[in-house]
Amino acid sequence: MRRLSYSFISIYFVFFSLFTSISHAQLPDFTDLVEDAGPAVVNISTTQKHQGRLGNMDVPQGVPDIFRHFFGVPQTPRSQPRGQDQQRASLGSGFIVSRDGYILTNNHVIEGADQIFVRLNDRREFEARLIGSDASSDLALLKVEASGLPIVETGNSEKLKVGEWVVAIGSPFGFDYSVTAGIVSAKGRSLPNENYVPFIQTDVAINPGNSGGPLFNLEGEVVGINSQIYTRSGGFMGLSFAIPINVAMEVVEQLKESGSVSRGWLGVAIQEVDKELAESFGLKKASGALVSQVVQHGPAADAGIQNGDIITAFNNKAVVLSSDLPHLVGRVRPGNKATLSIIRYGKAKNLTVKIGELPTQGTAVASNKPSFQPSASNRLGLEVTQLTLTQKKQWDTEGVMVSRVSQGSGANAGLVTGDVVTMINGKIIRDIDDFQKVVKNLRSGSVVPMRIVRRGQPMFIPLRVKD
């Protein structure tokens, strides 16, 4: 009996060991990947003169679910001459794409910086020069004076599959070269106010400081750039978003050539096709981008596109959701021709359009928003929208809400998305017309007081009007 028991135990341990070995064999080993690719990942820090500048992590009151860019935590400032107010802060990560010192990171990591510093895995440190940046894709290209640097291998993000393992390397909370892993959760995600990037969604643990860091596939190739997280708490909640490397490298080419990016423009306003609209247009399923407005004398108008057309494909790539169209159009160089597949009141048709260049002002490539578009004041680098009745009641104020901040006077003053502007230079702002009139009459080079309401709290901030 005892001999039988020993035999049973021996068989049990054999099967247990075999099962454990098989289970471990199915899990990927990231050690070689990290050892090979890690040296090309860098930590990025910057200095800014104005310590009191308000950060982009601020959000309007009453918004429980937000998409955040993620910044690092301040590090101890270096010794500096008395009287200077520069603060050294660790803001994010990046990676080297050429042996002569080109480095890719997020635009929001270096935006507004007076100096940019890059620290390598071997502890060498360089001051970097900004070659160019693009706020629309949240990308920036840096250059350090060095040679023989370690570089990453770039992959093809279009070949990435949902469910595939991916690895992130970065500096969350200042902990340099931390490695996290997960899988691709989805592809082609559209995020609020992000028209030109079909994001890769993953469940890789991403936190403040990972911004601009690489996302690798199991071949050790960079397939994305970690950019945003979806969170209610401000920290990682299982939803991370990366810019596809194919999109990023197209931007890099233009930044190298000119320091800026030009995008394709179709000249239409669009909306989603829901079940009821699909039925009314005689479609079998809700799919495509419904043209709600055509810009006069724009590329779409010249090609014969009409209000009510439903765009179902662009250059033979399906447009399933209306948000797919801006991604596709924006990546086409202005002047090139493209093929549009449309359905016009039940009849399929193909049109050829010569893509224009996205204007710096005016109508964007395509919009999923209703007809009340944000009003732009490029003089301040701001876009503002009219407060709704609910918002006026919630905050007990009149004014206009900042819907986007780009480089300019508004960014330098510390304005962030969600701020409500109520007064500029003693003039009360009740609506967009008031805002535009006051801004138009501001004297270049002057500094004026601006009253804003942030999360229900009123405050004045100085606004320096650029020339």
CA 237 – CA 251 distance, rounded (Å): 29
E strand residue ranges, 7-57: 41-48
What's the burial of 461, exposed, middle or buried (CB within 10 Å: 0-12/13-18/19+)? middle
Residue 108 bears catalytic tag: yes
**Residue 355 · residue 265 · CB < 8 Å:** yes
Comparing CA positions, the residue from 236, 220, 227 lying closest to residue 199 is 227
Residue 211 bears catalytic tag: yes
CA 191 to mean position of chain CA atoms: 8
CA 87 – CA 72 distance, rounded (Å): 13
Residue 467 bears catalytic tag: no
**Residue 157 · residue 224 · CB < 8 Å:** yes
**Residue 90 · residue 105 · CB < 8 Å:** no
Paired sense of beta strands 165-170 and 214-216, if any? antiparallel
Token pair recorded at residue 368? 């999923």
CA 116 – CA 42 distance, rounded (Å): 12
Catalytic residue among 45, 108, 327, 341: 108
**Residue 384 · residue 435 · CB < 8 Å:** yes
CA 350 to mean position of chain CA atoms: 32
Task: Give the CA count within 13 Å in the CB-facing half-sphere of 139.
Answer: 29
- Nearest 10 degrees: Cα torsion 296, 299, 300, 302: 70
CA 157 – CA 112 distance, rounded (Å): 30
Catalytic residue among 190, 211, 341, 403: 211
CA 297 – CA 268 distance, rounded (Å): 11
**Residue 465 · residue 446 · CB < 8 Å:** yes
CA 431 – CA 418 distance, rounded (Å): 15
Catalytic residue among 138, 309, 324, 419: 138
Beta-bridge partners for 420: 401, 453
Catalytic positions: 108, 138, 211
